[in-house]
Chains A and B, each alone.
Chain A
């Protein structure tokens, strides 16, 4: 089973609504990162939250981390059609990055 698993697998919302994605992981981590991937392209780093942080903001993004529950959430506020993409959480449980299967977000105009 994977270190990081996102939930839900797919999410459709209307433009202007908020989107929340969750990530669960299994082992202790130093940090957790979120990446975005537009269809068939490379991943773009969105935000990194360290294990001693509980919440972090970047523009319309808000990430929370609960190390006791081994989970993180990514909130995108006031979504736009351009936010349509797949979102992945990534951790480093050993010596290399492990990505979850991703949440596919569709923002409808």
Chain B
């Protein structure tokens, strides 16, 4: 099976812009989670989707949003980008939510100038 794919891999944006990141889970996986990783804060949970519904959301402002499509692919959107949003954004998929082993994509490296 193909692994989790994330596009784009690298992205440079300026403050105030918005960005959309995409994640395609492993075939058959219905749960997708997103994480933000920064040197200062480590890996922080953003949100989790299962069967097109957001199950959980981490402690992030409303500028961070996401959705999941019927084919389990997921997108996350960050509006009004700030310098502090520069990070590696990781997507992970699993068969079922939360308690199962997660399989991570390579990440999208976002740089906000």
Contacts and interface: CB of A to CB of B under 8 A. Distances in A.
Interface string B58-90: 100000000000000000000000000000101
B109 A40 contact: yes
Q: Which of A42, A44, A48, A95 has the most CB of B within 10 A?
A: A42
Given A40-B109, A42-B4, A42-B90, A92 B42 contact: no
Contacts of A40: 88, 107, 109
A96 interface: yes
Contacts of B88: 40
B90 A96 contact: no
Contacts of B104: 35, 42-44
B98 A96 contact: yes
Contacts of A98: 45
B107 A42 contact: yes
A13 B109 CA distance: 30
Given A42-B4, A95-B55, A96-B45, A48 B101 contact: yes
30 contacts: A30-B99, A31-B99, A33-B101, A40-B107, A41-B106, A41-B107, A42-B90, A42-B92, A42-B104, A42-B106, A42-B107, A43-B90, A43-B104, A44-B104, A48-B101, A88-B43, A92-B98, A92-B99, A95-B56, A95-B97, A96-B33, A96-B45, A96-B48, A96-B98, A97-B102, A99-B35, A99-B43, A100-B42, A102-B42, A102-B43
